[in-house]
Structure formats: structure tokens, C-alpha cells
């Protein structure tokens, strides 16, 4: 096996990263098109929301480890059964967790907190990032919106994830918001 020169490895790494970013942007644009045209079929099935969240936290913890961030889960419920579309809600959970990781400092904590009341379930993803200026918060869930707050480790963003998340949550008869 031939040893590759460091410069070539670096170039191949950049090509891979750019390709992955391009694919991510294309996937997001296709998701937006599907959601806006009403083609997305939300298929709700009764399942355990707590187990669903723990699984998504586990996957995102792998990403958070790179920044030495710990994701903690808090809920008074040991299980919570209701109907939701796991695939689409995973996109929302992963988007919100990825954003929390992206905008959090190294060696910090993120908390995922779930509270059930008589008519709904509230899930909060709480980080200790810099926050978002109040004037930017109203635009946050629009397509291609980015804020002046920059990721803490140079991560990239398309400005589509929160808009897609809002559409998916709305299709689940829910609401999504931000507190900073």
C-alpha cells in the first residue's frame, strides 16, 4: 500500500467535507420542497417518546463528544406513549440537538427536558450558548435564516433546519419556539 502525502490527505479531506455539506444542503432543499408541496406523509404510530428521545440523544452525544459536551436528559416520566412520526420527528430532534452542540462552548452541558401536562408534552433543549439577539428571534424559523451568533467551532449551517423543523412540528399539531 502506498503512503499518501499529508497534503493529498488534506485535500481529499476537504473534498469529502465539501461533498458532505453539498449533499446536506441538497437534502434540506428537497425536504423543503416536499414539505411546501404537501407531499410529506406524516405517518404517526404509537410509540415511546422517552425511548425515542434517549436514542436521539445517544446519537448526538457522539457528535458532542468532539467538543467535550455532555447531553443530559431529564424527565419525570419513565415512558410516554403517544402517536408521532419517528422519522420526521428524528429530523427535528437531531436538528435541535445539532444546533445546541454547534452553538455551545467546549466542555459545556446541554439539557433535554421533557414535561407532560394534561394536554401536551413540552420538550426543551437547553444550552449555555451565547444566545440569539431578540430582533433575530422572530425570523429564526424562516427559510435560509442565519443569525449573527456564530458556531463556536467553525461549524457550517444552511439556514434551513429550523424552518423544516417548524413545518414538521406543525404537521404534528405542535408548536416550536426559542427563548434566549
User: How much is the pLDDT for 53?
Assistant: 97
Q: Which of 138, 147, 153 is nearest to 64 (CA)?
A: 153
User: How much is the pLDDT for 1?
Assistant: 46
- 10-residue averages of pLDDT along the chain (180 residues): 65 64 57 61 91 94 93 96 91 92 93 94 91 79 66 62 86 88
pTM of the model: 0.74
Contacts of 22 (CB under 8 A, 6+ apart): none
User: How much is the pLDDT for 144?
Assistant: 65
Contacts of 2 (CB under 8 A, 6+ apart): none
User: How much is the pLDDT for 137?
Assistant: 75
User: How much is the pLDDT for 63?
Assistant: 87
User: How much is the pLDDT for 80?
Assistant: 95
User: How much is the pLDDT for 142?
Assistant: 76
Amino acid at each position: 500500500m502506498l503512503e499518501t502525502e499529508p497534503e493529498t490527505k488534506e485535500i481529499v479531506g476537504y473534498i469529502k467535507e465539501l461533498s458532505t455539506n453539498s449533499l446536506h444542503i441538497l437534502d434540506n432543499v428537497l425536504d423543503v420542497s416536499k414539505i411546501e408541496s404537501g407531499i410529506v406523509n406524516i405517518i404517526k404510530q404509537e410509540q415511546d417518546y422517552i425511548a425515542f428521545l434517549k436514542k436521539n440523544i445517544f446519537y448526538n452525544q457522539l457528535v458532542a463528544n468532539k467538543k467535550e459536551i455532555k447531553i443530559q436528559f431529564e424527565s419525570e416520566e419513565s415512558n410516554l406513549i403517544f402517536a408521532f412520526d419517528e422519522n420526521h420527528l428524528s429530523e427535528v430532534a437531531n436538528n435541535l440537538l445539532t444546533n445546541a452542540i454547534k452553538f455551545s462552548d467546549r466542555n459545556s452541558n446541554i439539557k433535554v427536558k421533557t414535561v407532560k401536562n394534561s394536554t401536551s408534552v413540552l420538550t426543551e433543549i437547553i444550552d449555555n450558548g451565547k444566545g440569539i439577539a431578540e430582533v433575530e428571534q422572530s425570523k429564526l424559523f424562516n427559510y435560509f435564516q442565519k443569525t449573527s451568533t456564530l458556531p463556536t467551532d467553525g461549524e457550517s449551517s444552511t439556514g434551513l433546519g429550523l424552518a423544516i423543523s417548524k413545518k414538521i412540528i406543525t404537521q404534528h399539531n405542535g408548536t416550536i419556539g426559542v427563548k434566549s
